[in-house]
Amino acid sequence: MSDPGPVLVINSGSSSLKFGLYVEQDGQEAVRFKGSATRIGAEQGRLVVKDGAGEQVRAADVRQPSQEDAFHEAVRHLEELGGARPRALGHRVVHGGPHLRQHQALTPEVMKALEDATHFAPLHIPPALRLIRAAQQRYPGVPQFVCFDTAFHATLPEVASTLPLPRSVREQGVQRYGFHGLSYESIVARLAPQVPARTVVAHLGNGASLVALENGRSVDTSMGFTPTGGIPSGTRTGDLDPGVLLFLMRTRGMDADALETLVNRDAGLRGLSDGTSDMQALARDAAAGDAAAALAVEVFTRSIAKTVGAYAAVLGGLDLLVFTGGIGENSARVRQGVCERLGHLGIRFDARRNEAGAEVITTDGAPCPVRVLPSDEEVQLARHTRRLLRG
């Protein structure tokens, strides 16, 4: 089938929006324009657009009260830059609930299923739905597709996906779903065709998780029923004794909304440091002697190392560890704090390579190499969107 034309992909976050316009060249997705809108909801936001060579071609300080505003602003700039009208749109959706586990065309039935799944991810699904509706209004009649972060983890074995709860609860769809799937997919694609049999990938950003890969397939992952679980993130608790929530309900009278704000907005690195979730600032403050910042960094790196060790047990050893995500790619301090705890797994950490930002941060011939690789969720969205468009 001939090239159906450019595809526009939309990747929304809590306060940011990434987007890209892709065309097919020699059977591969090539970026025509790619950009991001940041500080959405703040008094002053920022929108940046780059061309296929990575050169910045547009930058603007603009107020973007919502994801929908950011989307319309991004599309306006793309059109001014000469971006062709997209033949299809692809949306990243964090969670589709128990019935939407595969990337697929956006139909009225899929929209209804997403609406019904809102209680599985109340912080993520409603804004995703609003953004989808804005895109449908902007591009009426243009095919649209949804790609789920949970889809990559549909390969989890029952022993990994099942939570220790009564059957009546599990039958409501309460299970381990896993997230950051598009990011992990992009790492597997980058490693292909020679993906090590026993690989752990650490996606470390404002949201942070790890995955155990057996021959490139997800067999365990740290986030569970929601993105709140697993290791601590920028503002999320990670795994937490449920008794803590019961204690707060009884002693402070906190309801579900208050608890949701606590575990998703006010905890994690922000809660530990008494104010910030920015790892660059935390590392700087820790080096200057700030005890709270140092504790936040140590809790974070220790949790990552513990999870890598657990996944080595699941996989029967470890052939490769990969760091990705904003923190994973840019924080030498975090990578060092993790790797120095894992020498027993064959990781021979090279501090000079790490500080220099090398792709491989272990010594030559180390039994388990450690690589630093950028993930690319947008190109994965483009690949899936074009595949689904062609049927």
The four Cα atoms 376, 377, 378, 379 give a dihedral, to 10 degrees, of: 60
SS3 305: helix
In the chain, the DSSP E strands lie at 7-12, 17-25, 28-38, 45-51, 56-62, 88-93, 104-105, 144-148, 198-204, 208-214, 217-221, 320-324, 370-372
Site of tokens 């941060």? 361
Q: What are the CA-CA distances from residue 378 to residues 40, 104, 166, 281, 383 (Å)? A: 19, 16, 38, 27, 9
Burial annotation 213-244 (CB, 10 A radius, 16+ → b, else e): bbebbbbbbbbbbbbbbbbbbbbbbbeeeeee
Q: Is the peptide bond before 232 cis (omega within 30 degrees of 0)?
A: no
Burial category of 77 from C-beta neighbours within 10 Å (exposed 0-12, middle 13-18, buried 19 and up) = buried
Query: What is the 8-class DSSP label of residue 343?
Result: G
Query: Whose structure tokens read 């019904």?
Result: 116
How far, in whole angstroms, is CA 340 from its chain's centroid? 25
Catalytic residue among 149, 220, 285, 376: 149
First and final C-alpha spacing in the chain: 10
149 is an active site residue:
yes
DSSP 362-386: B-TT-SS-EEE----HHHHHHHHHH
How far apart are alpha carbons 291 and 281 in whole angstroms?
A: 13
Strand order in the sheet with 28-38: 56-62, 45-51, 28-38, 17-25, 7-12, 88-93, 144-148, 104-105
Rg (CA), the chain: 21
Check: CB of residue 68 under 8 Å from CB of residue 108.
no
Catalytic machinery residues: 149
